[in-house]
Amino acid sequence: MDATRQSSALRPTTAEERAERARTTGGAPTLEFGTRTPYDAYVRTDVLHGLQHPLSDDAGEMSFLMITQVMELYFKLIAFELRNAQERLRADDVWGALDPLRRTALHLEGLNASWRGLRWMTPADFNRFRDELGEASGLQSAMYRHVEFLLGLKNPALLRPFKRQVRTHDDLLRTLEAPSLWDDAVALLARHGHDLPRELLDRDFAAEHEPHPAVERAWVEVYRDTGPGNGTRLLGEVLTDVAEQFGDWRHQHVTAVRRAMGAKPGSGGSNGLAWLERSMARVVFPELWSARTHM
């Protein structure tokens, strides 16, 4: 649908107009529209519901496909919120960064709940349509890689699957080479007077952050002030929520794979379960966790 068709179906209204319409209809909903329903025009339901094209006749594949698509939408939403939080941190607006990060944690809860819709899938269920997927694998999700890179889990090798998708590759490369959310949090600590070495602030951001005792000490100092005006402490807590929910996502991913296919090789060429289990060893916001030992 082009912008002209969308604008013709969507017209801004005021609170007064809505109240007047409710009085006119006696509180009944509007059921007649000149064109398509405004809801369809806004949500683009025609596009969303036209994206499901199962490759087999197995009824379970529709669950697998649609839940995967729902997860992709969550990845995009989470990446959007993380970038919003980064903008606020770079502007030294700690309080402004809290809301997008709180939303991120809630979106991750919704993402994690998506796994429930796949609990029915045994290896026999998955095997009925798995061959049709060929080499397609969730490990090839570009939007998920954006989320990982934004959270500080950097690995340049994971750009390689996208080298023939120029726009996707370039977008991912920019995210890889830019500071992560954790890099921005560390830079904020330095601007707020914490003693952090220059090599932590002026580094190759395409490389994964290595835990540093100076960052750990800075967070210990932040948490000493328990007053309500300490926005940086609240930032630490909401970052912890995000990291915890993301950890839950990774754990549930491993559990879902173990349940649906055991230790069989993955569709994308990895050894499946073992590869995922190794990836879980990389910690998001590491000093925020290790600092708790010294608080």
- Binding site, by residue number, is 130, 253
Amino acid identity for residue 30 in this structure: T
Contact call for residues 82 and 100 (beta carbons, < 8 A) = yes
Q: How would you class 93 by CB atoms within 10 Å of its CB: exposed for 0-12, middle for 13-18, buried for 19 or more? A: middle
Task: Give the residue numbers of the binding site for heme.
Answer: 253
Task: At 286, list the tokens.
Answer: 């590491």
Computed on alpha carbons and rounded to an integer, the radius of gyration of the chain in Å comes to: 23
Distance of alpha carbon 226 from alpha carbon 247, whole angstroms: 26
Task: Give the residue numbers of the binding site for substrate.
Answer: 130
Which residue in 199, 197, 198, 140 sits closest to 172, CA to CA?
A: 140
